[in-house]
Amino acid sequence: MTSVRGRTTSRLALITAATGLCVAGMAAVAAPAVAGSGAGADVPEQRNGAIATLNGLQDADEAEVRVGDETQKVSAGLFEMAVDGGGTLQTYGVDALNPIQEQSHYTEGAWKSSSLYGNRNAGKIRWVLEHSYPRMNDLQALAKAAHVKRLTPETAAAGTQVAIWRFAENGAHGAAGARPAGGAERPGRGASGKGQAVERPVIHASDPSAEKLAKHLVKAARQMSEPKASLALDPAEVSGRNGERPGPVTVRTNAPTISVAPQPRAASQGVRVVNEKGKLVDSAVSGTKLYFDVPAVADPGTAGLTVQAATKIPVGRVFTGTGEKGRGQTQILAGSSQSTVSATATVNWAKGGPVPAAIAEENCAKGGVDIAVSNGGDATFAMKVGGQSEDIEKGKHGTLTVPVKEDQPYRIPLRGPNGYKKTFSGVLDCATSAAMGGPSQQSAPATIERPATVGGGGAVPEDSGDLAETGGGDSWLIAVVAAGFLIAGALTMVVVRRRA
């Protein structure tokens, strides 16, 4: 029987050999996608907050990640992201054993839907971000606090990253005393499934000054609360009948003011965005309630609105990979320029019958995706999703949780009357790799890149039913991954023979 240590250390060695081809393969498969939901072709996918592209390391130094008897040298430091629409972000990684892939796409999210879910040290990570580089850019003062003679941007970033990794791994599921909210242990966390203890990585900064900074930050850190979203609309979808004003959709933002505009489809069908008094709205502040004014003569349909602002995103906000191939090391915000943030909300309407409105949220506590549906029509909606069903009466709402495996792509289609259809897609990322018993077959430590998970990339056929999908994929991608493993195997054999 193979131990957790054996599986983990052998994979570290194997993927180090395969890195070169994996980088080339990923350059071809990286593609933008928004995690969450997708409606019809004429309605943009729902989004909240900032979406950004990872450009790579900005300031970094060397660190060592040791699992059992295997040690891997990695780059540890500060990353830079480019925000869609304008702006720059600085981030650190959260999962030491999950790789970083440059030019991958990330979206702003919540701790509870990321690998920080249930982590007892999440608040301390935010403290580190608030009290270290680059937030604290007086390196002389930071060096004095850490009792070292000198810190450079590179060693300050490395020490900060190591401290964050230690908190992320030691406070995650499976660490001694760590439990998710509510006290329930997440299935598959904390053990290999054979009763074996999970072996946590031991992480050290190579530079002595960076290591002392990491130790200082870990010792000094205190709990802080999760920062609020830069911009969000709640709920992201509403429904109603012709001649009504479905809503409200409430604005949540840290920006002083935001612009509000109907999307092109809404304008063409005469749908207006108004306040509770029926007056047109083109700007709003946090707390503003928005409504859709739907014409009495409009055909059944779907339309949306977009809100946008320029603001600094709060330090401590988490960013996770987007779309079905979005698996990668979760990032946490360390600094932000004035950046473009936006959010969308959708309305569905019909003259009669059931009129659903659906939103999805990853539920780490239950190990799945919550599909919440409200019914703004005048008849019962038979909700069927993920092999489950529930009748939602008029004016009511219901939620079904579709089980999804950790780190696996999912596609969950939902169908309704009048051509209503949505597909929720993404990758569930609720635990660090170490908490799951070490990296998977396609993982590597720290900043080593690896190919995307194969599968889940195809379109949902019309007759696919209501089951969550996790299979499928492009044959060329499979060939690239297979070739990578062949080369990795050949290189591993050479190493073994030389050692022999």
Q: Is residue 357 in a domain?
A: yes
Q: Is residue 304 in a domain?
A: yes
Cβ neighbours of 498 (radius 10 Å): 7
pLDDT of 438 reads: 55
Q: Which residue has the tokens 């009129």?
A: 355
Identify residue 16 by its one-letter amino acid code.
T
Q: Are 335 and 134 in contact (CB under 8 A)?
A: yes
What separation in angstroms does the CA of 179 have from each of 89, 257, 377? 31, 39, 41
pLDDT of 367 reads: 92
The encoded tokens of residue 367 equal 């190990």
pLDDT per residue as tens, the chain (500 positions): 333 333 333 334 333 332 232 333 333 222 222 333 333 434 445 678 999 999 999 999 999 999 888 999 999 999 999 999 999 999 999 988 888 878 889 999 999 989 999 999 999 999 999 999 999 999 999 999 999 999 999 999 999 999 999 999 887 654 433 334 333 344 333 333 334 456 788 999 999 999 999 999 999 999 999 999 999 999 999 999 999 999 999 999 999 999 999 999 999 999 999 999 999 999 999 999 999 999 999 999 999 999 999 999 999 999 998 854 456 689 999 999 999 999 999 999 999 999 999 999 999 999 999 999 999 999 999 999 999 999 999 999 999 999 999 888 899 999 999 999 999 988 888 888 766 655 543 334 444 333 222 222 333 333 333 334 433 333 333 343 344 444 444 433 333 333 44
CA 430 – CA 339 distance, rounded (Å) = 27
CA 272 – CA 295 distance, rounded (Å) = 9
Q: Is residue 110 in a domain?
A: no
Domain that holds residue 446: 231-312+340-473
Q: Is residue 39 in a domain?
A: no
Cβ neighbours of 58 (radius 10 Å): 17
Spell out where 312-365 has E strands. Answer: 318-321, 331-336, 339-350, 356-363
Q: Is residue 418 in a domain?
A: yes
Q: Which helix (H) or strand (E) holds 240?
A: strand 237-241
Sheet holding 272-274, edge to edge: 231-234, 249-253, 289-293, 272-274
Q: What is the DSSP letter of 228?
A: P
Q: Which residue has the tokens 């003679």?
A: 149
CA 448 – CA 80 distance, rounded (Å) = 17
pTM: 0.77
Q: Is residue 295 in a domain?
A: yes
What separation in angstroms does the CA of 321 have from each of 77, 78, 467? 19, 17, 23
Sequence-distant (≥ 6) Cβ neighbours of residue 163 within 8 angstroms: 128, 132, 213, 214, 215, 217, 218, 221
DSSP code string of 264-304:
HHHHHTT-EEE-TTS-B-SEE-TT-EEEEE--TTPPSEEEE
pLDDT of 211 reads: 98
Q: Is residue 358 in a domain?
A: yes
What separation in angstroms does the CA of 369 have from each of 400, 462, 468? 8, 21, 10
CA 319 – CA 53 distance, rounded (Å) = 10
CA 259 – CA 407 distance, rounded (Å) = 36
Sequence-distant (≥ 6) Cβ neighbours of residue 275 within 8 angstroms: 281, 288, 289, 290, 291
Q: Determine if residue 199 is left, alpha or beta; phi over 0 gives left, psi from -120 to 50 gives alpha, anything else beta.
A: beta
Sequence-distant (≥ 6) Cβ neighbours of residue 122 within 8 angstroms: 111, 116, 167, 171, 226
Q: Is residue 457 in a domain?
A: yes
Helix/strand/coil for 445: coil
| Number of domains observed in the structure of the chain | 1
pLDDT of 440 reads: 41
CA 464 – CA 466 distance, rounded (Å) = 7
CA 454 – CA 472 distance, rounded (Å) = 8
